[in-house]
Structure 1
Amino acid sequence: MSNQSVQVDPLNSPHPVPWGWVMATATAKALGHPTGLYYYRSQSLLSPDRQYAAYSRIQMQVQPEFFRSHVTSVLFLENLQTGDLQAITPSSPLADNPFLDSNAELDGRISIVIPVSWSQTGHCLLAREFESLFCSSIASDYAVIVDQENNRVRTVSPLHLQYTNAVLLGWSANNLDRALFQVGNMGDEHWHLWTVDVDGCTVPAPGDRPVTFGQIMSSVWMGPQVQT
């Protein structure tokens, strides 16, 4: 899979979220720009069989008080033959669909999903769900696994471990149906590799490495979009 352009990421992920845009947008009020909704569209990830494209749309609500701003997102899966579009919202703790009415308290929450890899056959999509809170040290990844054959979406993370941060790296090279995470505690020098399957089963993976499949496609639609 093609490499993305170098970006700053809160967890130094190989699959960075648009953190520069988030921080620039969050400070827009201080620069004299109005508060309100701002949007960003990720690059598209084309499946190996070129039948599907995945991308995400990120929405940021900028508030006068920086720490009350919040970021939400939705993952889209497009059938390039039929034009059918499926919207997918992760089931992680801070995820919330910005295109549906919700009474959930969102102040300060950051929930960004971006496509990371297809499976070799193109039937399954792996996405990174990054979650954090403004003005805090809380930050970690979840893996969103979209199984098209079984019409199933699972959001998983390493279980039964003591850690402050988990970083999704891709699929496991040793087990291509498992997500590979780097897991550790903030300040520790050595972090460890663990794989997680669709049911959350977590096993150590020393010496493993991440693999990704698919082609990143840039378009005129990617990047910051019109503010509302």
Structure 2
Amino acid sequence: MPLVSIVLATISFNTLAQCDASQEPPSDKPSNFNINEHLSKFSEMGDTIQNMPPIPGFDAGWNKRLAAGVFLSSAFYTDNPYDLKNNPVYNASNPDRFTNWFFGAAAGQLGFSSAEAKTAAAIVQQAQDYTNGQHPDYRDFTRMAEDIVSALWHFDGTEDNFPDSMDIEGGYGYQRDAYENDTPSGKSSGNSCDNDDSNDSADSSSANAGSGSGYGGGWGGGYFVGSAGCYGACGSGAVGSVTITDLPRQETIDE
């Protein structure tokens, strides 16, 4: 009987375990960043893109891939809300690894494969190195072009900085194995790897805002609408976080 109990306990544990160590959020995750709340936005956008009507004369599949790529790039682009390393709401923890981790999770929810997410990040890295005055490849166009071609050839994130590719893979695994298989109540906890994680319960879309200009934007009808041009005193007595505004859905009227 004791042996049977041990076996059953082991089976139960393995059934309930949702994340392995590689899928856990990196330690530089901002305490006020609700993973599942933000990831649900990318999930909604992915569904919206898949339901896009075809554009006459264009391949429907290609159009959807292009829309997903533009959306993902816009969301993480410099001075947009998911530029977490520079966003004044989250940069206290200097979330370098977590930004890559969440990029992988977001890319998966938009329908990209792990290899595609890591390759895209590797290409972006070459462009960043080109404009980084402290990098040996600064303003070396030939080297940037060669590394971009190499990134496309390997198609696995090889040309990205360590451990960026590993973190992207971890985030991708999180959304695939934990988030997608979690219950609605589990998702509402903020972290599907740890449903008791109270650190993820902060409302990161509150009306508070940081200081400066450029962060903001909003969601309307499932769409993220770029930079709003303001993350300064955008709310009464605001300090500490960016406003993500739910914009009214735009209706199309047939005349």
TM-score normalised by the chain length of structure 1:
0.29
Q: Whose helix fraction is larger, Structure 1's or Structure 2's?
A: 2
Larger radius of gyration: 2
For CA contacts below 8 A with separation 6 or more, give which structure has more relative contact order.
2
Q: Whose strand fraction is larger, Structure 1's or Structure 2's?
A: 1
